[in-house]
Amino acid sequence: MPGGRTAHSRFKIPIKLEDNSVCNFTKQSGTAALLREASLIIWDEVAMIRRQAVETLDRSLQDIIGCDLPFGGKVMVFGGDFRQVLPVVPRGTRAQICDVTLLQSYIWDDIKIIWLKQNMRAQNDVWFSQFLLKIGDGTEKTFPNDYVDLPDIILEYNDDQSIDSLIDHVFPNLAKNCTSVNYMRERVILSTRNEYVDSLNAMMIEKFFGNEKVYYSHNFVDDDSTNNYPLDFLNSITPNGLPPHELKIKKNCPIILLRNLDPHHGLCNETRLIVKAFEDNAIDCEIVNGQHARNRVFIPRIPLSPSEDISLPFKFKRK
Ligand SMILES: Nc1ncnc2c1ncn2[C@@H]1O[C@H](COP(=O)(O)OP(=O)(O)OP(=O)(O)O)[C@@H](O)[C@H]1O
């Protein structure tokens, strides 16, 4: 959506949420003025957000508008499907995950539900849309650990060369097409685990032409004056949410941004870009999706720390 922003960025929702958190804007701020002016607020994919984030906005809107109706009386439209991805609770049990969904919020009682029943994306594939619904509704036969049997017509590739076949299928004639922005923009391979993504990325990079550029991260530990953690060890770990120590890329390869670097200029989590050139401490790229498509941007090194939930016994930083 043009001008769309993540909820955390738009409403200044704190990262660490408590049951009585409020948004990080004041009554006099520009954000408060904008929200008071708004006649409709659309919040998509709300099934994957913790209910505390929505409740935080509810409290703050009531406060800045001075009205104790839900969301200060603003019309809210939430989009989402609780059969899809739920909020992430690190090492959480099923009960803990269910407890943080919006379904468990006091707000849910005030929400009027409108069902979208027709699958527009798979309208020509009735069997597939019904199969998806059966998995989502939990009526498809499952095996221990909630595994389901994928029918043979979905498993097109099931041999030793399956990954190569998949890459050739999704990226046909890569050599000829790798400089085409449109070709790159329309293709992606999704995977379930970071380790599979890393090995797929390594295979894909091999298939691109030109020289490879390797960026190494700078790693350090806060308050480690006695050097308890050797650099080789720090280089070897990749805590959840952090990039690997070694990043290999080539000119023309597609990359995706995973941080809200500069939302005003289109650099958000999930912005897709194509590598155009390399600098020592930045990657020169072209944005390929959204309203800022075709803009040239530099992606600098960003200092990152693992989230507080990760139980490393030291304060790790990677840049
Ligand atoms: N009324 C419609 N007529 C024709 N095509 C439509 C209509 N609504 C949606 N589509 C198409 O169906 C596809 C899915 O739409 P969309 O991504 O908005 O669905 P969604 O429910 O938000 O999906 P998700 O569950 O992934 O959030 C898109 O390709 C869109 O263009």
Q: Check pocket membership of 85 for ligand 1, CB cut-off 6 A.
A: no
Phi, psi of 175 (to 5 degrees): -60, -40
Q: State the pLDDT at residue 283.
A: 95
How far is Cα 285 from Cα 17, in angstroms, rounded to an integer? 35
The b/e string for 77-87 (b: 16+ C-beta within 10 A; e otherwise) is ebebeeeeebb
Q: Is the CB of 122 under 6 A from ligand 1?
A: no
In 3-state terms, what secondary structure has residue 168? helix
pLDDT for the residue 305: 87
Report the nearest atom of ligand 1 relative to the CA of 44: 27
How far is Cα 210 from Cα 180, in angstroms, rounded to an integer? 15
Atom of ligand 1 nearest to the CA of 123: 12
Question: What is the H or E stretch that residue 64 is in?
Answer: helix 51-65
- Decide: 1 in ligand 1 pocket, CB within 6 A: no
Best of 120, 125, 133, 188 to mutate for ligand 1, by most ligand atoms within 8 A of CB?
Answer: 120
Both tokens assigned to 291: 């309203």
The pLDDT value given to residue 60: 97
Distance CA 130, CA 187 (A): 25
First and final CA of the chain: distance in angstroms? 31
Parallel, antiparallel, or unpaired for β 147-148 and 282-287?
unpaired
The whole-angstrom separation of Cα 149 and Cα 142 is 7
Chunked into runs of 10 residues, the chain (319 residues) has average pLDDT values of: 81 91 95 96 96 97 96 97 91 93 96 93 90 91 88 74 87 88 89 87 89 92 83 88 89 90 87 93 92 93 79 84
The answer to whether the Cα torsion of 44, 258, 266, 249 is positive or negative is negative
**Nearest CA residue ID for atom 3, ligand 1:** 120
Q: What is the pLDDT of residue 308?
A: 66
> 129 near 122, Cβ under 8 Å?
yes
Measured CA to CA, the distance from residue 211 to residue 201 in angstroms comes to 16
Atom of ligand 1 nearest to the CA of 120: 12
Neighbouring CB atoms inside 10 A of 12's CB total 18
Query: In angstroms, what CA-CA distances link 308 with 69, 233, 239?
Result: 34, 20, 11
- Side chain identity, residue 216: Y
Cβ distance 45 to 80 under 8 Å?
Answer: yes
Question: Which residue's alpha carbon is nearest to atom 5 within ligand 1?
Answer: 120
Please state, in angstroms and rounded to a whole number, the distance separating the CA atoms of residues 235 and 218.
Answer: 8
**How much is the CA Rg of the chain, to the nearest whole Å?**
23
Q: Look up the ipTM and state it.
A: 0.92
105-111-117-118 Cα dihedral, nearest 10 degrees = -100
Nearest CA to ligand 1 atom 7: 120
State if residue 81 touches ligand 1 by the CB under 6 angstroms criterion: yes
Q: In this structure, which amino acid lies at residue 286?
A: E
Q: Which atom of ligand 1 is nearest to the CA of 116?
A: 21
Whether 117 lines ligand 1, by a CB cut-off of 6 Å, is no
Q: Which two tokens stand for residue 179?
A: 């400089």
What is the structure's pLDDT at 160? 67
CA of residue 1 to ligand 1 center, whole Å: 13
Write the residue with the smallest CA distance to atom 28 of ligand 1.
121
Q: For residue 121, how far is its CA from the centre of ligand 1 (angstroms)?
A: 6
Task: Report the alpha-carbon distance of residue 35 to residue 278 in Å, rounded.
Answer: 41
Nearest-5° Cα angle at 203, 212 to 150: 155
List for the chain the helix, strand, coil content (%; round to 5). Answer: 35, 15, 50
Q: Are the beta carbons of 50 and 17 closer than 8 angstroms?
A: yes
Pocket test for ligand 1, best of 115, 121, 124, 188 (most atoms within 8 A of CB): 121
Using a cut of 0.90, tell me whether the model's pTM lies above it. Answer: no
Question: Measured between alpha carbons, how far is 268 from 4 in angstroms, rounded to an integer?
Answer: 10
**What are the phi and psi torsion angles at 243 (to 5°)?**
-75, 160
